[in-house]
Structure 1
Amino acid sequence: MDLTINDRVLVVFAEKAELPVAELDLDQTFEEIGLDSLHLMEVALWVQKEYGAVIPEGDLHHEQTVREALAYLDARTR
């Protein structure tokens, strides 16, 4: 079974935050789960490599929740 973009990105967010995927709260901000701007840039580059979608710098930011980022990335990769 293929993982969706959201499933795959959740795994990346969890790895960057050094948390199990099950412990990610979709309503927490990146700052709350411990991701900084470098982590977010790495995620954006991963999305570009995996899906060919360019994520402009700053589109993923500390105040954004995981849920908001998933929706944004899903829309960018369609």
Structure 2
Amino acid sequence: MNTTINERVLALVADKAEVPQARLSLDSTLEDIGLDSLHLMEIALWAQKEYGVVIAEGELHHEQTLAEALALLDARTGATA
């Protein structure tokens, strides 16, 4: 996993969910964190703007854990574990 990308995504998720980053758990679903469909779309648009990757509608979804969402973004940006 790319630590820099993950840190930026975690900061963005915390901001969107309006929770301290320290309270985020990688095992929590995006819904448990408090993200709605608009937040997920904003994260996808951010990834496109920042890294030039396209996250299709539905690829980020409420049932995903934060770890799964990070793995998806890592894979799309070409980050290596």
TM-score, normalising length: structure 1: 0.94
Task: Quote the offset at 1:22 in angstroms.
Answer: 0.7
Encode CA deviations 1:2-30: one digit per residue, 9 max, x unaligned. Answer: x6111100000000010111110110001
Which ranges of structure 1 fall in alignment gaps of 5 or more residues? none
Partner of 1:67: 67
- Greater RCO, 1 or 2 (C-alpha within 8 Å, sep 6+): 2
Encode CA deviations 1:25-77: one digit per residue, 9 max, x unaligned. Answer: 11000110110111000000001000000111100000000000001100101
Partner of 1:16: 16
Partner of 1:53: 53
Moved >6 Å (runs of 4+): none
2:25 is aligned with what amino acid? Answer: D
Matched length: 76
CA distance in 2, matches of 1:26, 1:9: 12
Which ranges of structure 2 fall in alignment gaps of 5 or more residues? none
